[in-house]
Amino acid sequence: MHRWTASPRFVGVTDDVRSDLSQLGAPIGPMIRVHGGFANRMYRLDTDQGSFAVKELNLVDRRWTDHVEDVFRFERAAFAAGVPMPEPISASQHTLVHRWVEGEKVPEAPVPAAYAFEIGEILARLHALDVEWTHVSSEDPVARDWPELAERAAATGQPWADELASHVETFLAIAQFVDTCERPGPVVLTHRDIQPWNLLARDGRPVVLDWELSGMLDLAGELGSTALSLAKGPGFDDIEPAIFRSVLDGYVAGGGALPPSGPSWFVFMIGGWLGFTRWNALRCLAGVEASTGPELAVSHESVRNGVRGLPDLFGRLPELETLLV
């Protein structure tokens, strides 16, 4: 019988992660790090039972790991319902394991209309699932410490310090918007993070990845975030309204009902990006390469993207609301 030991095949992963892989079969090659993750670390493992995507969870900085069992239950239900996604294999406090799937990366650019339509249909199918969700989320107030972060960034010579300092007032205004924007509902159990980097294209059709942020969310926030991310490029200068509407048309065709128009369609995207930028800024200010989560260089890139992109996105809110008409 194969025995899992601290061999060169598993260099870089913890003993806890190694133990979580014991049911996947005998490895037929080294576990390969897949770089580029924004929050967790992922590896490909080939064994005599197949190929697997092994995600090492970032237990230090991320709070969602306390409901990993709920996430896994939701994934299993979605997979059983025919949602195109990697088969979920196992979940623990330390790892998530899925069957490896091949596909083309989805660029950060407007997707084809048929692809956007099918994403809308997938969301409608997800929102119709009857899945027990035991986790009760408790959102903290939006942080308002941007002046202090800017001072620390300047004092420690962060490469994005000047840009952050020039946008402090805007970041405070964004925090105020996220805190006070009315969310009319309904609230649905959903993926919460369907973005180009969490999608593959297989024969031109979507495959949905990275479900660990799943949970309850205001429907408008889910639809607005998803439709906008699929209808634009890296910035906000080339938004294609027809692609945005294709997501919504697919949602209605799949049996979903659209919520009322308003700024709540975009508050989740703005608030999530705000929190993600701050989380990465704190990692950069710590100045050390953490044992879990993204590499320090990726965190710096994420902060730069947030410091440059969030003020632009916030300033375009009136323009974005016209997409709902």
Residue reference for tokens 């997707």: 111
Query: Rounded distance, CA 222 to CA 218, Å?
Result: 7
- Asked if residue 11 has pLDDT above 90, the reply is no
Residue reference for tokens 């008409």: 325
pLDDT for res 4: 36
Q: In which element (H, E) is residue 41 found? A: strand 41-47
> Closest by alpha carbon to 262, among 193, 324, 170?
324
| Residue of 29 and 267 predicted with greater confidence | 267
105-131+177-323 topology per CATH: Aminoglycoside 3'-phosphotransferase; Chain: A, domain 2 (3.90.1200)
Per residue in 84-99, pLDDT (tens digit) is 999 999 988 778 899 9
pLDDT for res 301: 94
How many residues in total does the chain contain? 325
Average pLDDT value over all residues in the chain: 88
Whole-model pTM: value is 0.86
Check for a shared fold between 15-101 and 105-131+177-323: no
> Closest by alpha carbon to 236, among 304, 167, 317?
317
Q: How confident is the model at residue 287 (pLDDT cuts 50, 70, 90)?
A: confident
Could you tell me the end-to-end alpha-carbon distance of the chain, in angstroms, rounded to an integer?
63
- Asked if residue 288 has pLDDT above 60, the reply is yes
- Asked if residue 112 has pLDDT above 80, the reply is yes
- Asked if residue 289 has pLDDT above 90, the reply is no
> Closest by alpha carbon to 303, among 92, 121, 146?
146
Q: What percent of the chain has pLDDT over 70?
A: 88
Domain ranges of the chain: 15-101, 105-131+177-323
Please tell me whether the peptide bond between 186 and the residue prior to it is cis, using omega within 30 degrees of 0: yes
Query: Rounded distance, CA 178 to CA 165, Å?
Result: 20
> Closest by alpha carbon to 278, among 119, 164, 139?
164
Per residue in 142-189, pLDDT (tens digit) is 999 999 999 999 999 999 999 999 999 999 999 999 999 999 889 999
Q: Is 307 helix (H, G, I), strand (E, B) or coil?
A: helix
pLDDT for res 100: 95
Helix 219-231 × helix 264-286 angle, to 10° = 70
Report whether CATH 3.30.200.20 matches the domain 15-101: yes
Q: Is 189 helix (H, G, I), strand (E, B) or coil?
A: strand
Q: Which residues of 208-244 are buried (b: 16+ CB within 10 A; e: fewer)?
A: bbbbbbbbebbbbbbbbbbbbbbbbeeeeeebbeebb
The backbone torsions φ and ψ at residue 91, rounded to the nearest 5 degrees and listed phi first, read -145, 140
Query: Rounded distance, CA 96 to CA 249, Å?
Result: 33
| Residue of 238 and 177 predicted with greater confidence | 177
Query: Rounded distance, CA 254 to CA 131, Å?
Result: 18
Residue 85 has which token pair? 């996604």
Region 225-240: what's the mean pLDDT? 92
